[in-house]
């Protein structure tokens, strides 16, 4: 937490606005919209809820297909299934780790040929880095397909002077406990379309018709953000830039610490903007580094340091077995060789040094044979 959150929460208590409505909700929406440069923002209970409403308001329904980034967290794809539609996964490119516009072009051309265009494209901005948005917007416009941006991991990032999440018809953000700023749980939906923003507020508060009694002509959801949590969000927004600097400093530390080591590469920062480095991710080449990703993860675990593999692609998830995909082996390779290092905003210099030393101990010079996962387990 920053410095202001507790005072803002106390204000919610003092004024008795303990409900999913109130002055903090309105102010958080205004302040967030200004922060990302979007005309409208709608505060919701989670990023997943925001994505679900985005898909529903885009008319996604049973039998439809929705294209989605392959390398992502399952919450990007689950709401497609909530609506009875089928996800189709698009591989990453090496420059951004995000959706490869060339693969999207291939998928849309194929879909047009089959006479079955997707209802929407869910473009994910991973690990604090924007995808290459322009070619994706161009393709979606050309084929008349709705673009939804999942910027849950990319608040604070930039793309050619704009904020990822603000180019599509709808963008979503998350304030889960693990994200760069948090309300413990929460999300935001942004759009330039005022009618859409109003519809999202309506659907997220049980779709109650304007009548004195309780009347409903549509199925609604209980997806609004609490006024108490919106108070936390307002305080967090004030320290967003500081959090970005802390995350970027973590990455810079690791980059310097491993500069002389072969076979360890960082997630590239694309030239079109700023990555927040929400997580510092590396890719290990076992032949050059002398140990593979999993051996490194286990060696860190032995020292009570938690590191996690890069997202397992959705196309490899049992729950999405049988879903179509377009692409090669980029996402699969990033999963096989990628590791997310400890990246919290509150890591101390001593913490970072301890992690860096543990990673360095995994390195084996080229002459000796590489330590594999199996050997490390012994
Ligand atoms: C965290 C996350 C979500 C979901 O957000 P919640 O607020 O946890 O529901 C969606 N997409 C991605 C890529 C995420 O990392």
Reported as a single tens digit per residue, the pLDDT across 4-37 is 999 999 999 999 999 999 999 999 999 999 999 9
Residue with CA nearest ligand 1 atom 5 = 47
Cβ of residue 72 lying under 6 Å from some atom of ligand 1: yes
Q: What is the pLDDT of residue 221?
A: 98
Confidence (pLDDT) at 7: 98
Atom of ligand 1 at shortest range from CA of 72: 13
**Tens-place pLDDT, residues 240-262:** 999 999 999 999 999 999 999 99
Asked if 305 contacts 347 with a C-beta cutoff of 8 angstroms, the reply is no
C-alpha 311 – ligand 1 centre gap (Å): 12
Report the distance separating Cα 160 and Cα 52, nearest Å.
28
Rg (CA), the chain: 22
287 Cα to the center of ligand 1, angstroms: 34
pLDDT tens digits for range 152-178: 999 999 999 999 999 999 999 999 999
| pLDDT score recorded for residue 369 | 52
Ligand 1 in contact with 149 (CB < 6 A)?
no
- 3-class DSSP string for the chain: CCCCHHHHHHHHHHCCCCCCCCHHHHHHHHHHHHHHCCCEEEEECCHHHHHHHHHHHCCCCCCCEEEEECCCCHHHCHHHHHCCCEEEEECECCCCCCECHHHHHHHHHHHHHCCCCCCEEEEECCCCCCCCHHHHHHHHHHHCCEEEEECCCCCCCCECCECCCCCCCEEEEECCCCCCCCCCCCEEEEECCHHHHHHHHHHHECCCCCCCCCCCCCCCCECECCHHHHHHHHHHHHCHHHHHHHHHHHHHHHHHHCCCCCCEEECCCCCCCCCCCCCEEEEECHHHHCECHHHHHHHHHHCCCCCEECCCCHHHCHHHCCCCEECCCHHHHHHHHEEEECCCCCCCHHHHHHHHHHHHHHCCCCCCCCECHHHHHC
Atom of ligand 1 nearest to the CA of 125: 13
Residue 208 predicted with pLDDT over 70: yes
Q: Is the CB of 280 under 6 A from ligand 1?
A: no
Mutate to test the pocket of ligand 1, among 43, 69, 152, 168 (most ligand atoms within 8 A of CB): 152
* pLDDT score of 373: 59
How far, in Å, from the CA of 124 to the mean position of ligand 1?
10
Domains of the chain are: 5-240 (3.40.640.10), 241-377 (3.90.1150.10)
CA–CA dist 89, 314 (Å, integer): 7
C-alpha 292 – ligand 1 centre gap (Å): 28
**Which atom of ligand 1 lies closest to the CA of 153?**
15
The whole-number pLDDT of residue 378 equals 42
């Amino acid at each position: 937490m920053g410095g202001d959150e507790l005072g803002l929460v106390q204000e919610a208590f003092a004024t008795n606005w303990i409900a999913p409505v109130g002055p903090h909700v309105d102010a958080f929406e205004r302040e967030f919209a200004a922060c990302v440069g979007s005309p409208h923002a709608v505060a919701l209970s989670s990023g997943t809820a925001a994505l679900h409403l985005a898909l529903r308001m885009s008319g996604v329904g049973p039998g439809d297909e929705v294209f989605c980034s392959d390398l992502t967290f399952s919450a990007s794809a689950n709401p497609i299934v909530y609506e009875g539609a089928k996800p189709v996964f698009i591989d990453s490119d090496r420059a951004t780790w995000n959706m490869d516009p060339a693969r999207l072009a291939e998928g849309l051309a194929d879909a047009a040929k089959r006479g079955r265009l997707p209802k929407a494209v869910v473009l994910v901005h991973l690990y604090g880095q924007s995808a290459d948005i322009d070619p994706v917007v161009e393709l979606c416009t050309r084929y008349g397909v709705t673009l939804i941006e999942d910027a849950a991991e990319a608040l604070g990032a930039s793309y050619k002077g704009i904020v990822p999440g603000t180019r599509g018809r709808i963008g979503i953000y998350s304030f889960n406990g693990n994200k760069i700023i948090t309300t413990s749980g929460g999300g935001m939906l942004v759009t330039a379309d005022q009618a859409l923003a109003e519809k999202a507020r309506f659907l997220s508060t049980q779709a109650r018709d304007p009548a004195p009694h309780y009347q409903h002509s549509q199925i609604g959801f209980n997806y609004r953000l609490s006024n108490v949590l919106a108070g936390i969000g307002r305080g967090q927004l004030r320290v967003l830039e500081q959090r970005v600097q802390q995350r970027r400093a973590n990455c810079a530390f690791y980059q310097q610490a491993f500069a002389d080591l072969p076979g360890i590469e960082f997630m590239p920062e694309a030239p079109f903007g700023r990555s927040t480095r929400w997580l510092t991710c590396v890719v290990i080449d076992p032949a050059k580094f002398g140990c593979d990703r999993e051996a490194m993860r286990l060696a860190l675990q032995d020292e009570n340091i938690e590191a996690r593999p890069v997202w397992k692609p959705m196309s490899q998830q049992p729950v999405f077995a049988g879903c179509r995909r377009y692409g090669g082996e980029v996402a699969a390779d990033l999963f096989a060789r990628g590791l997310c290092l400890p990246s919290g905003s509150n890591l101390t210099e001593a913490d970072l040094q301890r992690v860096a030393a543990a990673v360095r101990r995994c390195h084996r010079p080229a002459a000796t044979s590489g330590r594999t996962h199996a050997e490390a387990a012994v």
